[in-house]
Amino acid sequence: MNVNLPFANERVAVVSITKHGIALAGRVVAAIPGARLFAPEKFRAEAEAAAPGAASCYTGKTGDQIPALFAGFDGIVAIVSLGAVVRLIAPHLKDKEQDPGIVVLDEGGRYAIPMLSGHLGGANALAGVLAAALGAQPVLTTASDARETLAVDLLGRELGWTFDASHDEIVRASAAVVNDEPVALVQEAGSRDWWARHANGRSGPLPANLKRFERLEDVDPERFGAVLWISDRELPAGWAERLAGRRVIYRPPQEAA
């Protein structure tokens, strides 16, 4: 059973390199059934006791395991110091569309820190799961999560929506949202409860700088820093130019006939 993660539990690796960390790793694996524990060979007995049937032990350096962990898992929980994780993963980073979501846990299980791919990679969501399971404090540093506003690149993900936008358009729209610029949000299709089901949880009202519209044709793009368009139709003639560089298009799945 998946525990509200954007990837299967079996795609989560838990890495620990100390005896006390391995005990905490066992609690993580218990909270995310299907996750797998990775630990040094010298701690095999502790690892197998902490995560029966879900422990893998390696010889050699932890850094040598990173390529296989990046290739085999979408989420990584590292019970290792933050600085050490930075040094371990630095040579292997590509981009946020490909890198796994990585969360660092301290050995006391007090803080869950998403340090890589917080949004698209799912690290923020993974930190939320760990916080609930362990009683930890999630340390979210992405602006949209810190301010509990809209995360442009996650809108509708739980509902199966996809989005069409360039990297620069996502950056521009995200900046407009978090900097309180006027943003047009046009919904012509899809479920209307996307805010309540938004990634990482949003319980307050829609941000005041988002103005809702029912039809794209009702929007004057020049008045807005970005236009978020939720629709199942193609852009009307002339609108590609009017929205150039400032639009994100969301496509809800087609309803069954």
Per-residue pLDDT of the chain (257 residues), as tens digits, is 566 788 899 999 999 999 999 999 999 999 999 999 999 999 999 999 999 999 999 999 999 999 999 999 999 999 999 999 999 999 999 987 889 999 999 999 999 999 998 887 889 889 989 999 999 998 988 777 777 788 898 888 888 899 999 989 999 999 999 999 999 999 999 999 888 777 656 777 889 999 999 999 999 999 999 999 999 999 999 999 999 999 999 999 986 43
Q: Identify the CATH class of 9-141.
A: alpha beta
Which tokens is 184 given? 């047009």
Residue 256: the pLDDT is: 43
Which tokens is 71 given? 């290739």
Residue 190: the pLDDT is: 93
Q: Are 186 and 158 in contact (CB under 8 A)?
A: no
Question: What CA–CA distances, in Å, run from 32 to 138, 140, 155, 225?
Answer: 17, 20, 25, 40
- The domains of the chain are located at 9-141, 152-251
Residue 97: the pLDDT is: 80
Render pLDDT for 76-111 as a digit per residue (tens, 0 to 9).
Answer: 999 999 999 999 999 999 987 889 999 999 999 999
Which tokens is 205 given? 């009202």
Residue 257: the pLDDT is: 39
Residue 159 burial (10 A CB sphere; 0-12, 13-18, 19+): middle
State the CB neighbour count (10 A cutoff) for residue 170: 17
Q: Do strands 247-251 and 226-230 pair parallel, antiparallel, or not at all (unpaired)?
A: parallel
Query: Taking the model in full, what pTM does it have?
Result: 0.75
| N residues, the chain | 257
Residue 218 burial (10 A CB sphere; 0-12, 13-18, 19+): exposed
